[in-house]
Amino acid sequence: MKKAFVILGMGLALLAAAALVMTQTSWGQNFLMKRLIATTLLDTPMAWDDPDVLRVFVCGSASPLGVSERAQSCIVVAGGSTFFIVDAGAGSTANLIRARLPMRNLAGVLLTHFHSDHISALGDTNLVSWVGGRTAQLDVYGPEGVGSVVDGFNKAYALDRTYRTEHHGSELLPPDVGPMRPQLIAMGEVMEVGEFSIRPFSVDHDPVRPAVGYRFDYRGRSVVVSGDTNALQSTATALRGTDLLLHDALSRPMVHAMRDAAATAGNTRMVQILDDILEYHAHTDSLTDVSREAGVAMLALYHLVPVPANGIAESIFRRGLPSEIRLVDDGTVFNLPANADTIEVVQIF
């Protein structure tokens, strides 16, 4: 018995000595740093270029209302060596990098409308894919107005692109690939890019006009990203039989509570803003019927107005919703195997 204690003691002493060497000596710290950097830079959470899976990755789940650590509106749709980003809200670029997406393969950014929470990271999205080795100009799709938004970002980043090409050379960062290229979409007209069929459709985000959502079809699977809309039935035809619907969602009880707090504090500006917001996002209790009638297999809510800050807030947000409806977070990934009917949901960070 005594011998066992001696052996255990020696083992613990050895472990403590090893921990000291690893954390307190230059050699140990350098070893740990190299391992950490290799993991951070090279490990990828999934095979993004698998051609047999339609993947949907939430790179931004927040709306501008409320305070949260999350990025604003951003959804990646990937299949094989092609992927798209729907909207580029603040903070989303960091999530693209965290997910180790092959940024050189970015085939286009699709904008739903031009509210700041959907476009503010557009310049950085272009930059990281250019630096990542993209070989053609980045196409930015959107309704009327996309030209002026893209021109503005191109102008704002013009000096930055010059510095980088001068510093790293035009072979590594070709200047003609640097500026983005606007692509005006036509409502209801299907675009074919690689194996993807993409269909934009009008949504009601009044007084913001135009505002659109997008339907993606790939190898027998489909996903619809609603953009910002109040979920009127008019969008239901675009949803018909889709596998996965990612929809804008507003919690009426939470926004009412915020409005009452603002009124009690005498903040009349905030009261008016919250009243206005109530009218142009989808209330959670309106979504279940729309998606059920359209035959949507899975409904997931993003662009959360506001992002629930804790478990109690999430319960309030979910009030009246069937348990199978998901509230997404940054890092949520939906895997839809080609020509099947299953959907796997994972959280990659």
List of residues contacting Zn ion (CB under 5 A): 115, 117, 228
> Which residue lies nearer to Zn ion by CB, 206 or 285?
206
Closest CA to 63 of 2, 131, 102, 112: 112
Measured distance CA(346)–CA(46) in Å, rounded: 11
Residue placing its CB nearer to Zn ion in the complex, 53 or 300 = 300
Whichever of 117 and 330 has its CB closer to Zn ion, that residue is: 117
Q: Which two structure tokens, joined as six digits, stand for 299?
A: 């409904």
Q: What is the DSSP string of 283-331?
A: BHHHHHHHHHHTT-SEEEEEEEESPP-SHHHHHHHTTT--TTPEEP-TT
Q: How far is the CB of 257 from Zn ion (least distance, A)?
A: 20
**Shortest reach from residue 135's CB to Zn ion, in Å:** 32
Tokens found for residue 323 = 């348990």
- State the nearest-atom distance from the C-beta of 280 to Zn ion, in Å: 7
CB of 183 to Zn ion, least distance (A): 21
Q: CB 286 → Zn ion: shortest distance, Å?
A: 17
Greatest pairwise CA separation for the chain in angstroms? 82
Distance CA 41, CA 35 (A): 10
Comparison of 115 and 326: residue with beta carbon closer to Zn ion: 115
Closest to Zn ion by CB, 38 vs 232, is: 232
The amino acid occupying position 43 is D
